[in-house]
Every structure is written in C-alpha cells, then in structure tokens.
Structure 1
Amino acid sequence: MSKIKPLELNAPQLSAQFFDEPKLLFAGDREHSDPKIGIALYGPRSLGTSRHKQEVHIGFIGTGEGMVAARKFYGDLTDGVAGGIGQISFPGCKHDRGFRCELRMDENLFEAITRKEILEVLNIKSHKDRFERLLGILQTKLELLTQRDYPLDYIVFVPPNDVFRKCRVLDYRVNKISIHRDLRRAFKALAMMFHKPTQILHETTIGLVDSRRQLDHPSRIAWNLFTGLYFKVEGLPWSPVGLTPSTCFIGISFFRPLGSVNTLRSSVVQAFDENGEGLVLRGPTFHWDSHQDGQSPHLSEEMAHELLKMVLERYRSERRQLPRRVVIHKSSRFELEERSGFEKALCVSGVEEYDLVSLRISNDVRLIRAGQYPPLRGASFNVGEISYLYTTGYIPELGGYPHGHVPSPLQVADHIGDASDSQIKKEILLLTKMNFNTADFSGSSPIDLRFSRQVSEILREIPTDQAPEPKYKYYM
C-alpha cells in the first residue's frame, strides 16, 4: 500500500525595499520635502512669475457680524500663527512672508444675508424646500457680488450657524429613490456658474459660535486655509521634483447622478504636466446594476475606449501634443473588457508608453516593525507577485507618525504596462504630496485618484446640461 504524501506548499517569496521621501520645488528652484518649511523658507513656487498675485481681493457672504468676524480672522492670520507640539508655525501672508501676497477685504465686497432671510429659511417646514430656498438666496448673493465693479478673486461664505445646522445635509426620496445632498457640495456646484473659487468658513472656526467639536490647531487651520487660497487664485504653492515631462496621470472614479439608481458616470481627474496640475472631466453615462453586475463598477470595452479618447483629446487641446506616456490610476481592478478598451485607445492614439494601475487600501497584510513606531512611509514589500506600499507611516522628517490609526499599505492590485514596480511606487509617493487643499506633509492616495473621488461628489450636483468647470480650484 503506497503512502500518501503530505501536501507541500511553497512559501511565497518575500522582498522589501524603502523609497526616500520625494522632494518638492519652491520659489527660486529651492527644494524641500515639507510643504510648510519650503513655503516659509523660500516662498511659493510661482513667486516671481505671472501666476503670482501681489494682491488677493476677497469677497464675503454671511451675516453682518459673520463677515466682520471672518475678515478679522483672515487679517489676524496674515501676521502669522505660532505652532505647537507637532505643529509648524504659520509664517503669515504678506509681501515679505509666507505666500508673499497681500489680502484686500473691502466692505464693498460684503454681501449680507439678512435676518429676514434667515428667518424665512428657518420657518420653512419642508426640509427639501428649506434647502432649496437657501440655495436660491445664495445664488442671488453670488450674482450681486460678482456683478460689483470691484476686483474679486475669491469668495468666502460664512453660513449662519443656525441655518447651517438646519440645512447641512438633505435626505429625501423621489419615486422610492433615496437622494442625499450636502450644502457644501451644492454651494460649490452653484458657484461654478459665476467662475469664482470659494471657501466655506464656519462661525465655529472663527470663534463667533462655541464649537461642540475640537478644532484643529490654529496654525494648521491657517496653513490649510492659505494653501488652498493661493492655489484657487491661480498661484502654484509647490511643484513635484521627478515627474517625467509629457506624462499624463489619470484618476478614475464613478458616481451616480442625483435621483439615479442604475445609471453611473465616470469622474476623471487628469494631471497632465510636470507641475502635477490638471483638469476635471465628466465622463459618459452608462448603465450599472449592482445586483446583476457586482458591487464594483467597471466600464465596457466601448466605454473605456470612449473615455480615454476624450481625455487624450483634451490633453492635445491643452498641450498641442499628445502625452508621451499615460498612467491610469483606479481603485477597482481592471476587468478584461475595460482593460482591452483602454489599451486599444492607447495603441491607436500614438502614445508611446502606458501603465494601468489599480490601487486599494489593504488591511489584510501589514509589516511589523520592531520598536514603538509603525512602518516608515515609503516602505515597500512584495508577497509573491502582490505588491504593497506604505504611503502613510512613521515620517523621519517629522520625527513621528502624524495619524492616530494603525497605517495600512496601498496594494498595487493590478499593474499592466511598461514602467517598473519601483517607478510606479515612486510616482505614487510623489503624487500623495500634491494636494493643494492642505499643507499636510503627504496624503494616503495619489492626488489624481483621491481628487477624482472628491470631485464626483460635486459633479452629482451639476445638471447634465451644464458643463462642469474643468479646473481643480472650483472643487476644493
């Protein structure tokens, strides 16, 4: 009688490596890895160029008291804010410090929400009607503000706290379809009609109303507020060091238009130059039934081909040439039809090189590091053919770990294309530092993918017959 041999399993091949922290470029071609230190020491990247504004003219919408308090809040921050434990001091914002520009906040650019208008909104019993009435009032205020014969670069909306609490979100049903709306997203979509970037500043943030939640450190608030402001008025806070010119990075997400059940659209964020800047595009609609087709949406071969063709045509119109290389980042796996559509569009377009990369947060596999700190940001490892990268973790430049949770690596779930695994990961690390909505050291996802998800929330509020603004600044 023959003996039964025990099952033999081959241990997966393990490997690991570490990628140094990418550098950023500031004024005078100076380099640093930390956006806050680079701005404080050297000034923003576009300083001394035609993109840099010497003066930024700010308009306000809110109650009389709210607008005065907001103007004082901005004015106080321009002098600088001391840091604290783990917080870098904000240098201020004047011609000789910080973002090296002066704020102009003339009362002629104040547009008040009156007490009568507040009571009118609050007395509406229907939640939906209340929400819509507030948007109608805001549309009128935006019209009046943008029609003034004064220069205007940026609009700050200070929602009255009692109105905000009543209108922050809206949930209702139409024909048994659940609809969720958010005041911030709706206001951003509304303001696009007037071609002015906006900022929502809460009365709790400026100290006009006691906050029930713990606010960020004042220096962090200042950094994030002014970094966003500078980019929204066409300035470039910093640019990446090491992105290959003529590479087009594309982030793809999906969203459901308001009131839709089985209709999806693709939200595309396209970063198309060595500065990491790009455009927002709204892709075509397609049918998706999660009960029949699965929870993770994907494009048909035809739709994938159509979407990428649209992106490449926009790139050509902006740059007067095609990209030499295209990288697509997506949070779901590339299905065979989807992959075929993308690859066919790339091959017939004349693009020389391309990479299709699927990224997702993985909680299944982690590195364990000796000592009290988690793995380093930039740590990378492979388990067999599966590749992982820590975009969060212990940061030596900061001397700590700035997040409160155990870091999870990104899994490179798919990679089809020409670049090496190392190049793909270095680019991902660099693109996690390109979020101009904050001055944080880095984020967890590359900006094209991260922003495509955020953009989709606002695209839902834009009517299908209205072309969305293509610039990032209107979605921030």
Structure 2
Amino acid sequence: MNTVVNKIKPLELNRPKLSAQYFDEPKLLFADNREHSDPKIGIALYGPRSLGTSRHKQEVHIGFIGTGEGMTAARKFYSDLTDGVAGDTGQISFPGCKADRGFRCELRMDDNLFEAITRKETIEILGITNQKERFERFLGVLQTKLELLTQRDYPLDYIVFVPPNDLFKKCRVADYRVQKIPIHRDLRRAFKALAMKFHKPTQILQETTIGLVDSRRQLDHLSRIAWNLFTGLYFKVEGLPWSPVGLTPGTCFIGISFFRPLGSASTLRSSVVQAFDENGEGLVLRGPTFHWNSYQEERSPHLSEEMAHELLQMVLDRYRSERRQLPRRVVIHKSSRFEPEERSGFEKALCASGVEQYDLVSLRISNDVRLIRAGQYPPLRGASFNVGDISYLYTTGYIPEIGGYPHGHVPSPLQVADHIGDASDAQIKQEILLLTKMNFNSADFAGSMPIDLRFSRLVGNILREIPAEQSPQPKYKYYM
C-alpha cells in the first residue's frame, strides 16, 4: 500500500530589522552658562544655575517643628553640613553651603523660628489607641504649629519638621475603614498636603538621620544626604540648581498618571499632570475624576476622548496663565499605551489650541528584551536599539563619566512605543535622557524615568490627601 505524505512548506517569517545607536550623555547648565554632565561637580565648580539672578537668595531662613532636643540637633546638623562633607569611594564630596561654596547662600536658623511639640502633646497623642484618631490628632497638632510658625514676624523661607521618633513610629501610617472602604494614610503625604495651605515648602528630617536616635537601617553616606537635602532646599526656596542643555525653547513636557482619591470607591480615579518647561520647572495639576473598574476593564486606566481633550485643555490654559503664552511644542509622556479615543482627544485639543508641534510617547520599563555587552559591565546609559518597529533606550547602565554603574541591578531599557508626532526618534530619546537628569529632589547623576512621568506618580500620592473642594498648589516645590 502506498502512503501519501503531505509536505507542508515551512512557515517563513521576516527577520526583524535590528539597529543600534548610542547617545552621548547630555550636559547641564550652571552659573555663568558653564556646562557639566554631573550635577554635583557642576555645583561644586561653578555654583547653581540661578546664581547672580533675582531667583538666588543670599540668605535662607529656616524654621523648625519638633521637640526642643530634636530642633536643636537638626539645626546643628544643618550647620555642620554647611562646612562641607568629605566623600568616599563612589561618593562625591559635598562642598558645603556658604556664600563662597556650594549653593552660595547662608542659612539663618533663629530661635524665634522654633515651634516645639511638647511632651504633654506627645503623651496625649500616644495615649490614643484608635489609629485614625491618633493620626488625625497628630495632624491637628502639626497644623497648629504651622499656623504659629508662619504667623511670626520673622522672615521664613523653609520649614524643617523633625517628628519625635516615638510619635513617628506610631503615626507614620494609619490603616482603617470608613463605610467599609479601606483607607491607607501616610504621615509624609498628609503633612505635605497640610503644609501647602501655608505656602511654605517643607522638609521632613527624621531623628535617626540626625543621629539623635539609633537607626536600625543602614543610612546613606553623609555626603549623599547633604547633597540631596541642599539640592532640594535650594529649589524649594525658588533657586534653580541647574538647567538642561539642548531642549527646544517653548517645549512643554507633560506626564500623565492616575490615582484613587482618599476614601473613594475602588472604581474611582483622578488624573494628575506634571507639566515641565524647557528649564525643568514644573506645574502640578489635578485632572477630572472618572470611574474605572480594573476588574471589568483593563488594569491601566484610560481617558475617554472627551476627558483627554478636557485634561489637555486645562494644562494649556494653566501654562498660558503662568507663562503668558502657549508652548510652541507639547510632548506627552504616558506609562501606558495610548488608546484610540485617548489619542484622538489629545490630538484634537492640540490642533485646536494653536500649538505648532506635538509628540505623544508611551514609555515603560521593559524586562523582555535586553542588550548583552561584551565584558563585565552592563550596557552603557544612552545605548539605544530598535527591534522592528519597537524602540528601546537605556536610561540606566554603565556611566563612563563616573566610571561605574550606580544602580546595583541588571539594567532594563525603556520601551519607547506609540510615538506619534513631529520629532524624530533620536530627538525623543535625547530628550528622555535629559529629563532623567532633572530631579531636584536629589543630586544623583540621573534617574531611570523622565522627570514628568516619575513625579506625576509621586505627586498623586499627595493629591490623595487634598480634598476635592481644595485647589492644590501648582508649584512642584510643595510636593517634594
């Protein structure tokens, strides 16, 4: 018997086109238009960007909230840091902060700007067993301290809150239910939301950081702590530590993310927008609230066409109000893909507004595809590659400028997807690299995400604490 064999032609797939490119490390601008790629070296050598301008404060007046011992220790901690801190292997020395060094300003820390949390108040708060009541009582005490401190007839630029360690342990978080809805609250977020009503930037400094209480965890090197504290301080008092080199003038970068309002049903979401100009200065805006059931729909929320249009129009109106003109170009960064309705809403708002150019870009960290580099070091930060139509960029990796890889884990590239707009792929990636260096909450060389996306998420955590009827402060310094 003859056997018939069916021969099936093997399936042939087109080979994906592979390409790779490397982008040089972006530069930053400091005083007198001097350039350097490392924020710490640039500040130490040249001084901050706004030195010599009306934004630079010669003196910064600091107020304190805490126990008497905590405030005294915190003042000494700041005072010691102003003289400078020696570095170590992998840690650049902090040059100090005086008229002739570092951020080129003097700190003023007067006894008249001390507002004490008394032992009586501490005992009363610790005696409350209910988490919600204890947390809210502590916030009530802090509100009183903020009121008293900001009403003093003394100049005040900046408030340092040193929570007593025993209170911090008991009130750091609170978990409870209201009408069966679980609520999680965080002291830092709640304090930031509370303090912005008084129009003063703040810093929370734990007693473990200043050495008043032993810490169970390994603290960062003192020079790194100093760099982060003083970089944040300088920006919060309206200074500009550095600015980017190479961003197109008149460009507005917008990061969009979502959060669930405090005490709301699990299906409710609000959007938050971080808009940054070409100098890296940000605005915070709370967008419309909408329903999204992640069990019935996709896990990542998306906006309807109408809401996307409304949200972007709100951003452009606020930008025009602050800058007296519209941006020439808008770049929207989002961590999830752009749905067709969402994209349509954004594009219609942009086309109707008079903005000349725009780009929509979806960014997410990808663990699916990586480059393997010959040798013992990971891929270079700035390495980029394309697999077919999908583009990737390493924002972390080996950094030749510092001779090492500071992140301590296998780097994953950003996947750059859904790009629709006017700029080239190369321009989009160069801008992303620059925006990873614009975090004024630290002086680190660079982060993994562009600043507009990174902080739209973090800001959302603080916006949860702000009631819907209260307008949040638009300046980013209140959320740091």
Question: TM class by shorter-chain length?
Answer: over 0.9
What amino acid is aligned across from residue 89 of structure 2 in structure 1? I
Q: Give the one of 144, 147, 157 matched to 1:153.
A: 157
Aligned match of 1:268? 273
The residue number in structure 2 matching 1:410 is: 414
* Offset, 1:221: 0.2
Counterpart CA distance in 1 for 2:182 and 2:443 is 36
Amino acid at match of 1:400: G
Spell out, residue by residue over 1:72-92, the C-alpha distance to the aligned partner (whole angstroms, 9 max, x if none). Answer: 000000000000010000000
> Using the alignment, how far apart are the partners of 1:148 and 1:319 within structure 2?
33
Residue of structure 1 aligned with 2:321, choices 317, 322, 325: 317
Question: After superposition, where does 1:229-240 map in structure 2 within 5 Å?
Answer: 229-240=233-244
Higher alpha-carbon deviation: 300-309 or 317-326: 317-326
| Aligned: 1:356 with 2:383 | no
5+ residue gaps in structure 2?
none
Q: Who is 2:332 aligned against?
A: 328
- 2:45 aligns with 41
SS in 2 for 1:254: strand
Question: 5+ unaligned residues in a row in structure 1: which ranges?
Answer: none
| TM-aligned CA deviation for residue 7 of structure 1 | 1.1
The answer as to 2:122 corresponding to 1:115 is no
Q: 2:59 matched to which residue of 1?
A: 55
Q: Which amino acid in the other structure matches residue 464 of structure 2? A: R
Matched, 1:227 2:200: no
SS at match of 2:296: helix
Among residues 77, 97, 103, which one is paired with 1:99 in the alignment? 103
Aligned to 2:198: 194
Match of 1:252 in 2: 256
1:299 to 2:300 alignment:
no
Q: Distance in 2 between matches of 1:386 and 1:304?
A: 25
1:176 to 168, 180, 185: 180
Structure 1-normalised TM-score? 0.99
Give the AA of the match of 1:150.
Y
2:416 is paired with a residue whose SS is strand
Deviation of the 1:448 alpha carbon = 0.6
After superposition, the C-alpha distances for 1:165-194 in whole angstroms (9 at most, x for unaligned) are 001011111222111110000000000110
Q: Are 1:287 and 2:287 counterparts?
A: no
3-state SS of 1:291 partner:
coil
Write the deviation string for residues 398-422 of structure 1: whole angstroms up to 9, x where unpaired. Answer: 0000011111100012111111110
Quick one: which of 445, 451, 462 aligns to 2:449?
A: 445
Could you tell me how far apart the structure 1 residues matched to 2:161 and 2:300 are? 36
Is 2:68 the partner of 1:64?
Answer: yes
**Residue range with higher mean Cα deviation, 415-424 or 312-321:** 312-321
The CA deviation string for residues 1-58 of structure 1, in whole angstroms up to 9 with x for no partner, is 6631111122211110000000000000000000000000000000000000000000
**1 CA distance for matches of 2:430 and 2:155?**
42
CA–CA separation in structure 2 for the residues paired with 1:87 and 1:357 = 34
Which residue does 1:20 correspond to in 2? 24
Counterpart-to-counterpart distance in 2, 1:335 and 1:75: 52
Amino acid at match of 1:25: L
Distance 1:226 1:389 in 2: 31
Map Cα deviations across residues 202-249 of structure 1 (whole Å, 9 max, x no partner): 000000000000000000000000000000000000000000001111
SS at match of 1:292: coil
SS of residue paired to 2:25 = coil
Deviates more, 1:239-248 or 1:284-293: 284-293
Matched letter for residue 465 of structure 1: E
User: Given residue 271 of structure 2, which amino acid in structure 1 is its aligned partner?
Assistant: S
5 Å-filtered alignment, 1:383-462, equals: 383-462=387-466
Q: 1:212 is matched with which residue?
A: 216
2:83: which partner in 1? 79
SS in 2 for 1:269: strand
How far, CA to CA, are the matches of 1:293 and 1:339 in structure 2?
A: 18
For residue 290 of structure 1, give the secondary structure of its aligned residue in structure 2: coil
The one-letter amino acid of 2:140's match is: G
1:89 and 2:93 matched? yes
Equivalent position of 2:348 in the other structure: 344
* C-alpha distance in structure 2 between counterparts of 1:166 and 1:443, whole Å: 32
2:289 counterpart letter in structure 1: T
| Superposed CA RMSD | 0.7
